[in-house]
Structure 1
Amino acid sequence: MPRVESAGWDNSDRILAIERPQYQKDASCRTCDDPSIFFPSPGDTESLKAAKAMCSTCPVVDDCLKYALENNERYGIWGGKSTRERLLILRAKRILEAGEA
């Protein structure tokens, strides 16, 4: 894979200034030794299971899922749900809302 060279700009101050949702300070994943488990490669069931296991004991799992759904997070495990699972939730929600209209 070709290496991408930066233009020499230091944007770390901008990255650190990003507002994070309040719930994240209590999230179990903050203490995870390997955050890459929340972004498993296709077929990487070991990372997927590890991420979901951590989410299953997280005190803010519902807030995390709500955030991901409201902000259309397209990648990774959020609130114990994969991208595919979140898409199914959103689809079901749209169907229910259409039925109520």
Structure 2
Amino acid sequence: MYLIKVDIYEEGGQISIFNNGKESLLNAQGRKFYMFFTSSNYDDKEKKVSGGRNGFGAKLANIYSTEFILEQFQQKISPNFQEPYEQPILTTCSKNAGD
């Protein structure tokens, strides 16, 4: 049985999410948390109007955070994955607006 646990630390303004489900590739993790349309369900030739209903939660948390740290720990893989984002997507996207 899988366990998903969410801890909210109001004092420090932090949210921690624990999930002991199936492992995924470490090198692909970062994209899932800051890049829209990362699923394999999209046709690159097709114009996209909406991203569907799933997959926006962590991305939106990243967009509106001043700091977003993604950490992944896997028992069988070393080193573990950690990628910090400071002034994450909002700053990056505004620099590339209109491209």
Question: Does TM, scored on the shorter chain, surpass 0.5?
Answer: no
TM-score w.r.t. structure 1 length?
A: 0.30
RCO higher in 1 or 2 (8 Å CA, sep ≥ 6)?
1
More strand by share: 2
Larger radius of gyration: 1
TM-score w.r.t. structure 2 length?
A: 0.30
